[in-house]
Amino acid sequence: MAPMLPMIGGHRKKSKSLDCLLLALVFAATGYLGYRVTMQLHYTWHWGDIPQYIVRFDKGQHRWVANYLLLGLLTTLRLSLYAAVPALVIGLAMALARISRSLFWRMTGRTYIELMRNLPPLVIIFLVYYFLADQLIPLIGADDLLQNLSPRTAHWLSLLVAPPATVTAFVPAVLTLAVFEGAYIAEILRGGIESVDSGQWEAAHALGLSRGQCLRHIILPQTFRQVLPPLAGQFISLIKDSSIVSVISIQELTYQGTQLMASTYMTIEVWLLVAAMYFVLTFPCSLLLGRLERSCARGAT
């Protein structure tokens, strides 16, 4: 081992100076881009106007309130959190369908997963959303229900979910996202289930456990640690993918960005800020994911 060390050290040093060079290049390129935008495109930066779109001072109420972008960020967060739960349920159900002994269920699972993975997300969003919003919401009579809320309930509803007027759009949007993400979760779970040694099934069957009991008590608990990191990764994808429901006018971060851009023409400032706000959501998740992966890898050995 010892003779290796100087070489490794050498590699380190070399890559460090290379890193510095690359970093300098990146900074130079960024500076040049900014210069081009300002000078050649005659773009005037309005960074000073931007913060008011995050929070603004409400003169009537005499306090700071969240404005477009922050509201959008919160909606994105709610969308992602709420979609994660039905997405997990759909994913688990479809993973089980995929490994079912019945041909019908296997075909159902397969069809669902292949459709979701082979159609453009936008197309799926339009199809599923309009089906859900058109068919499901009137079916359960949610409209009437929402119109007769007490102010207190309405307040909590808008805080936790969405303002009563937009709930009928918000809920189908959440479900649409869940239907879309469920396919990826199903494949993650199926992979986890199939990676468990077949001897586990045999031992459980030999003891007289039913297939459902095997899954619940033997197989799924063993896949949990293994699928946790990819599931967390999928949650990050979910946050990012939630931007596609902007096309159905859910006022999440991307939608708010579009609106703001249209009314202020501060294109670059707005989207840089929107990008930063997404990053603020996803990056901590990525860090957490990294820790999760390391601790799961440790636990597995």
Partner 1 sequence: MNDQAKQESNSPIIDVRRIEKIFPGPVVALRDFFITVERGEVLVIIGPSGSGKSTFLRCLNGLEEIDAGTIRIDGISLDENEANRLAIRRKIGMVFQSFNLFPHLTVLGNVDLAQRLVQKKSRRQAAEFSRRLLEQVGLADMEDRYPHQLSGGQQQRVAIARALAMMPKIMLFDEATSALDPEMIGEVLDVMRQLARDGMTMVVVTHEMGFAREVSDRILFMDKGRLVEEGESQTFFRNPRHARTREFLQQIL
Burial call 11-27: b when 16+ CB within 10 Å, e when fewer: eeeeeeeeeeeeeeeee
Of the chain, the end-to-end C-alpha distance in Å amounts to 24
For the record, the structure tokens of 235 come out as: 């949650």
Candidate segments 7-15, 208-216, 235-243, 245-253, binder of partner 1 by CB under 8 A: 208-216
CB of 198 to partner 1, least distance (A): 9
Q: Is residue 207 involved in binding partner 1 (CB under 8 A)?
A: yes
Amino acid identity for residue 181 in this structure: E
Distance CA 112, CA 180 (A): 10
209 part of the interface to partner 1, by CB under 8 A: yes
Q: Is 213 in the site for partner 1 (CB under 8 A)?
A: yes
**Does 228 participate in binding partner 1 (rule CB under 8 A)?**
no
Residue 56 as a binder of partner 1 (CB under 8 A): the answer is no
Is residue 297 a contact residue for partner 1 (CB under 8 A)? no
> Contact, 72 vs 253, CB < 8 A?
yes
Confirm or reject binding of residue 222 to partner 1 (CB under 8 A). Answer: yes
Q: Which of 81, 203, 275, 288 binds partner 1 (CB under 8 A)?
A: 203
Residues forming beta bridges with residue 56, ordered by sequence position: 65
Alpha-carbon distance values, 255 to 70, 73, 172, 258 (Å): 12, 10, 17, 5
Is 120 a binding residue for partner 1 by CB under 8 A? The answer is: no
Window of 23-31, 75-83, 204-212, 262-270 that interacts with partner 1 by CB under 8 A: 204-212
- The smaller minimum CB distance to partner 1, of residues 45 and 224, is found at 224
* 89 scored as a contact of partner 1 (CB under 8 A): no
Interface residue with partner 1 among 210, 267, 286, 295 (CB under 8 A) is: 210
Counts for the chain of helices (H) and strands (E), in that order: 13, 2
Burial of 30 (0-12, 13-18, 19+ CB in 10 A): exposed
Query: Stretches 27-35, 151-159, 179-187, 209-217: which one binds partner 1 (CB under 8 A)?
Result: 209-217
The site for partner 1, by CB under 8 A, has a size of 17
User: Does the protein bind partner 1 through residue 23 (CB under 8 A)?
Assistant: no
* Beta-carbon count within 10 A of 243 CB: 19
By beta-carbon proximity to partner 1, the closer residue of 222 and 264 is 222
Q: What does DSSP assign to residue 58?
A: E
> Interface residues with partner 1 (CB under 8 A)?
197, 199-200, 202-210, 213, 217-218, 221-222
